[in-house]
Amino acid sequence: MGRTLAEKVWHNHVVRSAEGEPDLLYIDLHLVHEVTSPQAFDGLRGADRPVRRPDLTVATEDHNIPTIDVDKPIADPVSRAQVEALRTNCAEFGVPLYSLGNVEQGIVHVVGPQMGLTQPGMTIVCGDSHTSTHGAFGALAFGIGTSEVEHVLATQTLPLKPFKTMAINVEGDLPEGVSAKDIILAVIAKIGTGGGQGYVLEYRGSAIRGLSMEGRMTVCNMSIEAGARAGMIAPDQTTFDYVQGREKAPNGQEWDDAVAYWKTLFTDDDAEFDAVVDIDASTLTPFVTWGTNPGQGLPLSASVPSPDDATDDVDRVAIERALEYMDLTPGTPLRDVAVDTVFIGSCTNGRIEDLRVAADILQGRKVKEGMRLMVVPGSARVRLQAESEGLDQVFLEAGGEWRGAGCSMCLGMNPDKLTPGERSASTSNRNFEGRQGPGGRTHLVSPAVAASTAVTGHLSSPADLA
Amino acid sequence: MEPFIRHTGTAAPLRRSNVDTDQIIPAEYLKRITRDGFEDGLFSAWRKDPDFVLNRPEYQGVSILVAGPDFGTGSSREHAVWALQNYGFCVVLSSRFADIFRGNSGKGGLLTAQVAQSVIEELWTLIEADPSLQVTVDLDARTVRAGDLTADFEVDDYVRWRLLEGLDDIGITLQHSDAISEFEERRPSFAPLTQ
Ligand code: SF4
């Protein structure tokens, strides 16, 4: 029987397999950042172990860094100590690091692809659940915890039990104004936050093939929000074109060899998935979340649901709790929900294409009075690229803030936070209680919806703009 | 790591589903660079409410958490496991755990025992009727016992073996260093290097 894409990549990385034990899988690329690594480096030090392959490891500073005054020392002493720990650890163990101020610095999941380090068929891990992003290239990429970070640093491998595979077929043409973010929010609403648990999702179908690499990354990024550890898309010409010419991409004969191999990375016709989900792209519309987990989403044209819509008691309690936290009344049209802050950024939607979409909408328009618009590029390079295209000026003239690269308000670890009760429309990936700051209320949206919302002051799509 | 064979203690009912890692330990606590002292951040937003289960006098000293479905969703932060352990929890029971959280727990020695939601509901009822009830989670027998209730739980075979033996994963893998070196010889030359 044939193999799925995920099974092929898995198979090509098995170092050792034995009955009754997990497979030992080789890791091609290990991305490291300041938050989930200090205890891992400490563990190595305690056991007197080196980093096995510093040349397959790369670190950057993203989660816990400021996005203003980046040339000054970090003001918060606790944050500063963590960033300094990363710098000391990388120097001591020989791991390359892109620090604040370096042109390659940025959110790990933006940096890897942009440098050409993320390539088809690789195994990629990082102490961050959104490592699934790299699956857009046909890599098997997933988040790991700090103990596993230590394990990979020490051995360049991980013991893993095989995943099940799920096909997500998105066929048909996406309607105008509907983006990759809307696809994935619809997928999560359909299968639920636990629906992908234990699976690698493979996104397939004409609507997926039609996406740019940026769009594919947005889709794979949020696989974790569907409960899956990884999401993948088979590489094709779009993938090869994106990788070619990047700093770490192969050249000459090696490029040809690589492409020949990459072309074998697809799910065989006679392979079987453990589960299949079909989505008709032509029925999709701009999607927003109303609740406190990413599965609590609806089309923008819908209304806030009622606990009476619940399928069971657990669901009823979850809806009641979410409505209370979000301060929403059942039956309110989502379009009437007034928003205080718009955040455009994160590893989900902080790439150049996302900023172009937002700038296109904000061009010649103003942010609604009293609202805050914060635009945070995913990496220093994205920032430079955007500035060379004049996008920063569009955001500034509209009344927005233009920041340095990092995770920023996606997780509110640095000073970029919501205040209690403040409501955001955010292009990030998590709407958990307090995710963007204690008491903050988050609606997950696409860049187009975010920018439109900044103009009108309530959840809106470009179609709502005069 | 200490071997984990069975554990007996009192339990707290957490009647919530989709308890994500941002609730277990919010991002502001992730700035620390040690593995201990995270108990103050555990469920910190909820603990501001004096009625929250862990604030109630009858649930002081608990070591078993009985939670709703989809426990541990969200980020990969292992701090969630440390926070639960630092607070004093040895076991979490739920009908469904998020994958990464479950993996992290196994590494850190926190047992995540998966039982049917009906068992969770029974346990909630039993504990709420008598918060001093002793609950025994027997990893060797894969059972949870409380009062008249005995139920089997699911745990990965390999994780169970490692916990029972108290083995360190890295030590196990390093025994296969030769196989790793052989694999490295076979890697294609076009595979990228970071430096
Ligand atoms: S942008 Fe947000 S989701 Fe992405 S890595 Fe940073 S904190 Fe995590």
Q: Which of A197, A258, A321 sits opposite B190 (nearest CB)?
A: A258
On chain A, the residues whose CB falls within 8 A of the CB of B73 are: 193-194, 227, 293
Q: CA separation (Å) from A383 to A179, A259, A351, A386?
A: 22, 30, 9, 5
User: Quick one: pLDDT band at residue B131, thresholds 50, 70, 90?
Assistant: very high
User: Quick one: pLDDT band at residue A29, thresholds 50, 70, 90?
Assistant: very high
d(CA B160, CA B112): 10
Could B172 and A156 be called an inter-chain contact, meaning their C-beta atoms sit closer than 8 Å?
no
DSSP, res A408: G
Closest-approach residue (CA) in chain B for A122 = B191
* A169 strand-pairing partners: A204, A278
d(CA A107, CA A125): 14
| DSSP-derived pairing of the beta strands A97-98 and A14-16 | unpaired
Which is more confidently placed, A286 or A46? A286
- Confidence at residue A428, expressed as pLDDT on a 0 to 100 scale: 97
Longest dimension (CA), chain A: 64
Range of weakest confidence among A2-6, A143-147, A207-211, A233-237:
A143-147
d(CA A426, CA A350): 11
Whose C-alpha lies nearest to ligand 1, atom 6? A407
Contact criterion met (CB below 8 Å) for A9 and A121: yes
At residue A462, the 3 state secondary structure works out as helix
pLDDT tens across A13-28, in order? 999 999 989 999 999 9
The identity of residue B124, as a single letter, is W
- Confidence at residue A288, expressed as pLDDT on a 0 to 100 scale: 97
Could B180 and A81 be called an inter-chain contact, meaning their C-beta atoms sit closer than 8 Å?
no
| Buried b / exposed e along A91-102 (16+ C-beta atoms within 10 A) | eebebbbbbbee
pLDDT reading at A413 higher than 90: no
| Buried b / exposed e along A352-386 (16+ C-beta atoms within 10 A) | bbbbbbbbebbeebebbeebbbbbbbbbbbbbebb
Q: CA separation (Å) from A405 to A3, A64, A350, A356, A382?
A: 39, 11, 9, 16, 8
Residue of A160, A314, A315, A414 to mutate, interface with B, max B Cβ within 10 Å: A314
On chain A, the residues whose CB falls within 8 A of the CB of B35 are: 39, 42
Taking the centre of ligand 1 as the mean of its atom positions, its distance from the CA of residue A130, in whole angstroms, is: 7
Angle at A294 between CA A292 and CA A296, to 5 degrees: 70
User: Quick one: pLDDT band at residue A72, thresholds 50, 70, 90?
Assistant: confident
pLDDT reading at A437 higher than 90: yes
Backbone angles phi, psi at B179, to 5 degrees: -65, -35
CB-ligand 1 contact for A435 (6 Å cutoff)? no
On chain B, the residues whose CB falls within 8 A of the CB of A21 are: 158
On chain B, the residues whose CB falls within 8 A of the CB of A435 are: 22, 27
- Confidence at residue A314, expressed as pLDDT on a 0 to 100 scale: 86
Could A16 and B176 be called an inter-chain contact, meaning their C-beta atoms sit closer than 8 Å?
yes
d(CA A414, CA A376): 13
Tell me which of A63, A403, A417 to substitute to probe ligand 1's pocket, judged by most ligand atoms within 8 Å of the beta carbon: A63
Predicted model pTM: 0.93
- Confidence at residue A116, expressed as pLDDT on a 0 to 100 scale: 98
User: Quick one: pLDDT band at residue A313, thresholds 50, 70, 90?
Assistant: confident
* A329 strand-pairing partners: none
Listing DSSP states for A289-315 in one string gives: E-SSSTT-EEETTSB---GGG-SSHHH
Identify the residue whose tokens are 């590494």: B107
pLDDT reading at B1 higher than 80: no
Mean pLDDT of chain A: 96
Could A96 and B195 be called an inter-chain contact, meaning their C-beta atoms sit closer than 8 Å?
yes
Contact criterion met (CB below 8 Å) for A319 and A333: no
Name the nearest CA neighbour of A147 among B25, B27, B34, B108.
B108
On chain B, the residues whose CB falls within 8 A of the CB of A153 are: none
Q: CA separation (Å) from A464 to A114, A177, A287, A301, B83?
A: 34, 11, 14, 11, 45
CB-ligand 1 contact for A344 (6 Å cutoff)? no
Contact criterion met (CB below 8 Å) for A195 and B73: no
CB-ligand 1 contact for A225 (6 Å cutoff)? no
Taking the centre of ligand 1 as the mean of its atom positions, its distance from the CA of residue A63, in whole angstroms, is: 7
CB-ligand 1 contact for A131 (6 Å cutoff)? no
Could A318 and B18 be called an inter-chain contact, meaning their C-beta atoms sit closer than 8 Å?
yes
Residues whose CB falls within 8 Å of the CB of residue A314, separated by 6 or more in sequence, listed in order: B17, B68, B69, B117
At residue A402, the 3 state secondary structure works out as strand
Name the nearest CA neighbour of A403 among A35, A33, A65, A61.
A65
CB-ligand 1 contact for A376 (6 Å cutoff)? no
Could B27 and A411 be called an inter-chain contact, meaning their C-beta atoms sit closer than 8 Å?
yes
CB-ligand 1 contact for A405 (6 Å cutoff)? no
User: Quick one: pLDDT band at residue A73, thresholds 50, 70, 90?
Assistant: confident
pLDDT reading at A466 higher than 90: no
The shortest C-alpha distance from A246 to chain B (Å) reads 11
Stretch A421-441: mean pLDDT, rounded?
Answer: 96
In chain A, residues 142-171 whose CB comes closer than 8 Å to chain B: 143-148, 150-151, 154-157, 159, 161
DSSP, res A285: -
pLDDT reading at A323 higher than 80: yes
On chain A, the residues whose CB falls within 8 A of the CB of B170 are: 47, 49, 150-151, 154-155
d(CA B136, CA B155): 16
Stretch A205-229: mean pLDDT, rounded?
Answer: 97
d(CA A128, CA A138): 19
HEC string of chain B equals CCCCCEEEECEEEECCCCCEHHHHCCHHHHHCCCCCCHHHHCCHHHHCCCCCHHHCHHHCCCCEEEECCCECECCCCCHHHHHHHHHCCCEEEECCECHHHHHHHHHHCCEEEECCHHHHHHHHHHHHHCCCCCEEEECCCCEEEECCEEEECECCHHHHHHHHHCCCHHHHHHCCHHHHHHHHHHCCCCCCCCC
Name the nearest CA neighbour of A223 among A197, A253, A243, A247.
A197
CB-ligand 1 contact for A111 (6 Å cutoff)? no
d(CA A226, CA A353): 24
Residue A219 burial (C-beta neighbours within 10 Å; 0-12, 13-18, 19+): buried
pLDDT reading at A1 higher than 90: no
Task: Note the ipTM here.
Answer: 0.93
Could A22 and B188 be called an inter-chain contact, meaning their C-beta atoms sit closer than 8 Å?
no
Could A64 and B100 be called an inter-chain contact, meaning their C-beta atoms sit closer than 8 Å?
no
Identify the residue whose tokens are 């193999």: A3
Name the nearest CA neighbour of B160 among A108, A21, A346.
A21
Q: Calculate helix-pair angle for A380-388, A391-398, nearest 10 degrees.
A: 80
At residue A334, the 3 state secondary structure works out as helix
Q: Which tokens belong to A399?
A: 């009344």
Longest dimension (CA), chain B: 65
In chain B, residues 10-49 whose CB comes closer than 8 Å to chain A: 15-18, 20, 22-23, 26-28, 30-35, 45
The shortest C-alpha distance from A25 to chain B (Å) reads 9
At residue A320, the 3 state secondary structure works out as helix
Q: How many residues make up chain B in this entry?
A: 195
CB-ligand 1 contact for A429 (6 Å cutoff)? yes
Stretch A226-252: mean pLDDT, rounded?
Answer: 97
pLDDT reading at B168 higher than 90: no
CB-ligand 1 contact for A409 (6 Å cutoff)? no
